[in-house]
Structures are given as structure tokens and as C-alpha cells.
Structure 1
Amino acid sequence: YVCHMRTNIKYSPWKMWYIACMVRGMTVDEAIKQLSFVLKKGAIAVKETILEAQQIAVEKHNVEFRSNLWVAESFVGKGVVIRGMRRHARARVGKVEYFHCHYFVRLEEGTPPKHYYPFKRELTGSELLENWLQQMRKRKIPNSL
């Protein structure tokens, strides 16, 4: 696997979180394709970081095919917060905060799993029946023997 990061991106970590979650579990080619249609400043930084990680995988980690990679982890960390002042009318001031974030990505070789989030997948009929049976057996009648 290949880990890569970009630090001190001048973008809110709370906005970047949505973009980072979107590309999890996708192939690198699909992630690049999807990010090119996201009209947000953070999407450009994520796209560049994934492309850099793909390049590093091919050059330094002996990955044979650059298209045979998928995004195993994609998350955001909070960076420095620069605080400043903004002038208002009547000699008043307002507090301004400029947020920065760090973006981390890990690429793995191979095909991505069918369900990246296993708890969100559709359950089969036998699994649904088993869950229902477990719930029925766990029931208790209060104040009984």
C-alpha cells in the first residue's frame, strides 16, 4: 500500500470531510473522474494528492499498473488556525479565523471491495430471518417467571 498526504491546505476541514468520504472505496481512476465534476476548492487538492500518490506507487513501490489501485483510506485532519481581526464601522472589530486542513490518503493494489461499508449493504433473506429470530429470542416478559 501507499500512504500520502498534503498538509496545510487553505480549506475548512469540515467541508473537506465530505469530499474525503466520497472517494473512499473507489478505484483511483473512478475517484479522479468523480472529483473532476465536484465544483469545490477542496476537490482539486484531493485530486492532486491522489494523483501524486498514484505516481509514487508506480515509481517507488513497484506497482505494475497505475489503474490497479483503489482508495483504501481517505480522511482529513485539522491544521493550523490563523486568527485575525476585521475592521467594522464605528471603530469596532470582529474576530476572523482562517482554517487549514491536512488530507491523508492510502492506496492499495487490487480491486476495491464490493461493499466498503459492510454495515450498509443489503442483507440476504437468510440473514434477515436470522436477525429476526435473534430479536424474538431476546424478548423478555416483565414481572414473569
Structure 2
Amino acid sequence: MSQTSNPRRVKPTEARAKLVSIRISPYKLNLVAQSIRGLKVQRALNELEFSHKRIAGDVRKALYSAISNAENNHNLDIDNLFVAEAYVGKNIVMKRFASRARGRSSRILKPFSELTIVVRELGQEAA
């Protein structure tokens, strides 16, 4: 017997994209995610295009991926999409050591993050 398919984790009017193992702290990534939360997709892309943050390019790629998923996999209209959710989670932390004075060492933490973007269609036909 074959395995039953898993139910969708998002609603029929939603699509999502997830980036895992992004080499930046969750705090810094969340600053960029906050700037696009709740915006229409085109406005969010413009916001990321002109952002001075280094990670904005990767977030922009993830948003494009969510838009493509909405269009190709779920047949949603691109013009009616907005960023419903953009949330950040912690991932692994690389631990490194740096030499200090008098033969001591100190710990350097290099955190990784993950980003999930959910786009939703708005309008009467979606409701």
C-alpha cells in the first residue's frame, strides 16, 4: 500500500517558502523580516531592493520563491498577493575560539537562522 499524502500546511489561498541555515543572527534577520511583514508583494520587493542590510538580498530571493510557488503550484494571482507572515527561527550555532592575552581563549559564537515567508491572496475571490 502506498503512503497517504500529507495535508497542506497552509490554506488554499496561501503559499510559502523557507530558507534554512542562513549565516546571520536571528536578531539581525528579524529586523529585515519586520520591514516586509504585512506589505503587498511589489512594495516588499522594493523595500528589500533598496535596503542597506546585507541579508536583504537573500530575503528577496526567498520572497521571489514564495511568489513563484503561489503562481505555479497554487494558481494564485500575483497582483493580489501580500506578505502575510515573515518569521525567523534559530538554527545551529558554530562555536569557535579566539586567542586572548596570557594564554587564554574566548568563545566566538556564529549563529545560523531560518526564515519562513508566507504570502496570501487578498480580495473577494479569495474569501
TM-score normalised by the chain length of structure 2: 0.81
Unaligned runs of 5+ in 2: 1-13
Q: What's the CA shift for 1:90?
A: 3.6
Whether the 8 Å CA contact 2:17–2:66 is kept in 1: the answer is yes
1:32 aligns with 2:38: no
Contact 1:3 1:104 in 2 (8 A): yes
Q: Which runs of 5+ in 1 are unaligned?
A: 112-145
State the partner residue of 2:103.
91
Which TM-score applies when normalising by structure 1? 0.71
**Match in the other structure for 1:70:** 82
Matched ranges for 1:33-72 at <5 A: 33-63=46-76, 65-72=77-84
Give the superposition deviation at 1:44: 1.4
Q: Where do 1:1-145 residues align within 5 Å?
A: 1-63=14-76, 65-110=77-122
Give 1 or 2: higher strand fraction.
2
Q: Which has the higher contact order (CA 8 A, sep 6+)?
A: 2
**Per-residue CA distance 1:23-78 (angstroms, 9 max, x = gap):** 11101110000111111122112111000110111111112x32321000111001
Q: How many residues align?
A: 110
Are the equivalent residues in 2 in contact too, given 1:86–1:95 (CA < 8 A)? yes
Q: Percent identity?
A: 28
Residues 11 and 41 of structure 1 are in contact (CA less than 8 Å); yes or no, is this contact kept in structure 2?
A: no
- Structure 1 CA distance for aligned equivalents of residues 72 and 107 of structure 2: 46
Runs of 4+ in 1 over 4 A off after TM superposition: none
